[in-house]
A and B are shown apart, each in its own frame.
Chain A
Amino acid sequence: MEVNQETIAHLAELSNFALDEDQSTRLVSNIKEIVNYISQLDELDTSNVEPTYQVFEMENVWREDEILPQEANREALLGLTKEIKDNQIKVPKVL
């Protein structure tokens, strides 16, 4: 797998980073080394092996469909943001 400036630009877009040129250059070599290291998994024979995504021993943890008391109310949550207008979070224009 070839990691180059183009790969980094694509990953930066997926990751929502505005990288400058200096950062991109350093990341090319970092990411290249890391990908090189993790690629050693190729050696491992995993044919007929099922994947594991979690090690929790249970499944389907159910509870009643009811609204439980919440620790943080609307006011507390809105208080965490930078700009509020009419009880709404204000952000720069979307388009």
Chain B
Amino acid sequence: MKTASIEVSAMSLVKEALAKAHQYQDEYSIFTFINDTAAIEKAAKIDERIKNGEDVGRLAGVPYALKDNFLSPEGGSTASAHILEEFTSPITATTVKKLEDEGAIMIGRTNLDAFAHGSSTENSYYGATKNSKDTTRVAGGSSGGSAVAVALGIVEFATGTDTGGSIRQPASFNGIYGLKPTYGTISRYGVVAMASSLDCIGFFAQDPADIDLLMQITAGQDVKDMTSLPDYYGKEEKFDDPIKRIGIIKDFDNEAVHPEIRAALAREVEKLRASGHEIIELDMPALKYALAAYYIIQPAEVASNLARHDGVRYAFRSQDSQTLDALYQNTRNEGFMPENKRRIMIGNFVLSSGFYDAYYLKAAKARTLIIQEYEKAFEKCDVILTPVSPNPAFKLGEKVDDPVAMYLEDLMSVSLNLAGVPGLTIPVGETANGLSLGLQLVGPRRSDQELLQFAKQMRSNTKPSEDEHADVMGGND
């Protein structure tokens, strides 16, 4: 990552990023807010400190884009939702604080599906973000704005959240790297909750080594998030030996998957085989039920988390309600997008008396089977290589009014969140008509760093060796 120094000023880095942000904004709808004033002020301060010979941190003057569901007082924290439109947070997310303590400068807040509910960024109150390769197609979602900001080279990295694929799928649709870490690796404090047992914070970048650096900075236990894991990232290795055995999932190789994605997977598998890796075919029949389990568990948690938005204590409030009940109902009706309402209602349905056992409890049991299936798989292989989604970026408007068709785009990404295991999207070329193709590397819990390291190795397409493994992503390239 290019950091500020005596030779390269933070001001020049920030001004360049801001100029690009403005240049692309009209065509792509990437940002909900561009941080012109504060970013320039921060750059000036960093340059002053560099001049004084101070240590300005590992991300000195590096401009970045922040998904708009991270809270901080800079710009409104809207989660691209009307109901949070007038909300400016008095608190700062732990991730934002850690990045800025190292000198990173937020140049804009990026668009998402409102409350991260979606797979295309079309469910945003601010309109759809366009795909970086084809503006008639979706950016993917929910972190569409962040993925496009990195893909277009506006910033070198952006933050994301991933509840069922919201980092990995837009990374895949825009030809960049995107990591969903092990559940609990990065504190969720100060991030708008979607489904708390599934939500993960992660990053987008053009280079896996950059994501590794960001993980070293942001991972770790946080007293403000009781589900944050004790520090492990960069401190322990999951595997004793270099990654050797690559699992592929038979059930994901069928006609439902786009032929060019299947071909890309086959190509990468052949390359790995040729470089000495062992390819293991996995039978994981429970994964077929992951999407149904996910679309029960996730809306149940969504319904609970979004119950707090009532127009009373903060943000948008509907006008002219005569009673308190009417105020709640009108605020929520006007403030939520249609997809938010569908998820809240499904959540209340699966949790309601009479249906709890048949849906919510059943899904929680299916989750156990999915976890067991991954545990068994990782006895046979080190990592799994699969598609991220069944299709490359689809057309804008194609699925937005058909919730089940949209949900099916999450078919291959949601099981990782149910199991809490990490997944990394790696770009693997383009379709014949120029759309990005991506695959995901899936590892056991706490193998995040080794996934990044393996991605780096796949990129250079070298043979696995002891030396490669010993080099723990130390380089600053």
Q: Give residues in A with beta carbon < 8 Å to B.
A: 1, 7-8, 10-12, 14-19, 23, 26-27, 30-31, 33-35, 37-44, 46, 49-58, 61, 63, 68, 71-72, 76-77, 79-82, 89, 91-95
The answer to whether A38 and B321 touch across the interface, beta carbons within 8 angstroms, is no
With the chains together, A26 CA to B355 CA distance in Å?
A: 22
The answer to whether A91 and B324 touch across the interface, beta carbons within 8 angstroms, is yes
- Closest chain B residue to A93 by CB distance? B323
The answer to whether B90 and A37 touch across the interface, beta carbons within 8 angstroms, is no
The answer to whether B90 and A77 touch across the interface, beta carbons within 8 angstroms, is yes
CB contact under 8 A between A46 and B369, given known A15-B303, A80-B87: yes
Confirm or deny: B404 has a beta carbon within 8 angstroms of a beta carbon on chain A. yes
**Ranked 6 nearest A-B pairs via Cβ:** A55-B420, A51-B364, A72-B90, A80-B314, A18-B329, A46-B365
Which residues in B have their C-beta under 8 angstroms from that of A50? 365, 368
The answer to whether A33 and B404 touch across the interface, beta carbons within 8 angstroms, is yes
- Closest chain A residue to B328 by CB distance? A16
The answer to whether A56 and B184 touch across the interface, beta carbons within 8 angstroms, is yes
> Given known contacts A15-B345, A34-B346, what 17 new A-B pairs fall within 8 Å (CB)?
A11-B352, A16-B332, A17-B336, A18-B330, A26-B338, A27-B342, A31-B349, A40-B292, A43-B289, A44-B366, A51-B365, A54-B227, A56-B197, A68-B223, A80-B88, A92-B326, A93-B322
Which residues in B have their C-beta under 8 angstroms from that of A82? 311, 317
- Closest chain A residue to B407 by CB distance? A37
With the chains together, A39 CA to B291 CA distance in Å?
A: 11
- Closest chain A residue to B350 by CB distance? A38
Confirm or deny: B296 has a beta carbon within 8 angstroms of a beta carbon on chain A. yes
Which residues in B have their C-beta under 8 angstroms from that of A89? 312-313
- Closest chain A residue to B190 by CB distance? A71
Which residues in A have their C-beta under 8 angstroms from that of B367? 51-52
Using an 8 Å CB-CB cutoff, how does the interface string of B124-150 with A read, 1 for contact, 0 for none?
Answer: 000000000000000000000000000
Which residues in A have their C-beta under 8 angstroms from that of B355? 1
The answer to whether B330 and A49 touch across the interface, beta carbons within 8 angstroms, is no
With the chains together, A61 CA to B341 CA distance in Å?
A: 34
The answer to whether B90 and A71 touch across the interface, beta carbons within 8 angstroms, is yes
Which residues in B have their C-beta under 8 angstroms from that of A72? 90-91
- Closest chain B residue to A76 by CB distance? B90
A to B CB contacts below 8 Å, 25 in the list: A12-B345, A14-B352, A16-B307, A17-B336, A17-B341, A17-B344, A27-B342, A31-B342, A31-B345, A35-B349, A37-B291, A37-B404, A40-B289, A41-B296, A46-B366, A54-B197, A55-B183, A56-B227, A56-B229, A57-B229, A63-B223, A72-B91, A80-B87, A81-B314, A91-B327
Using an 8 Å CB-CB cutoff, how does the interface string of B406-419 with A read, 1 for contact, 0 for none?
Answer: 01000000000011
Contact of A38 among B87, B223, B295, B371 (CB under 8 A): B295
- Closest chain A residue to B339 by CB distance? A30
The answer to whether B295 and A16 touch across the interface, beta carbons within 8 angstroms, is no
With the chains together, A8 CA to B352 CA distance in Å?
A: 13
Which residues in A have their C-beta under 8 angstroms from that of B330? 18
CB contact under 8 A between A80 and B313, given known A27-B342, A41-B293, A49-B368: yes
The answer to whether B197 and A16 touch across the interface, beta carbons within 8 angstroms, is no
Contact of A71 among B92, B227, B314 (CB under 8 A): B92
Contact of B332 among A17, A43, A52 (CB under 8 A): A17
Which residues in B have their C-beta under 8 angstroms from that of A81? 312-314
Which residues in B have their C-beta under 8 angstroms from that of A26? 338
The answer to whether A41 and B183 touch across the interface, beta carbons within 8 angstroms, is no
Which residues in B have their C-beta under 8 angstroms from that of A58? 229-230
The answer to whether B332 and A15 touch across the interface, beta carbons within 8 angstroms, is yes
With the chains together, A86 CA to B359 CA distance in Å?
A: 47
With the chains together, A54 CA to B197 CA distance in Å?
A: 5
The answer to whether A52 and B348 touch across the interface, beta carbons within 8 angstroms, is no
The answer to whether B364 and A53 touch across the interface, beta carbons within 8 angstroms, is yes
- Closest chain A residue to B421 by CB distance? A55
Confirm or deny: B363 has a beta carbon within 8 angstroms of a beta carbon on chain A. yes
Confirm or deny: B310 has a beta carbon within 8 angstroms of a beta carbon on chain A. yes
- Closest chain A residue to B364 by CB distance? A51
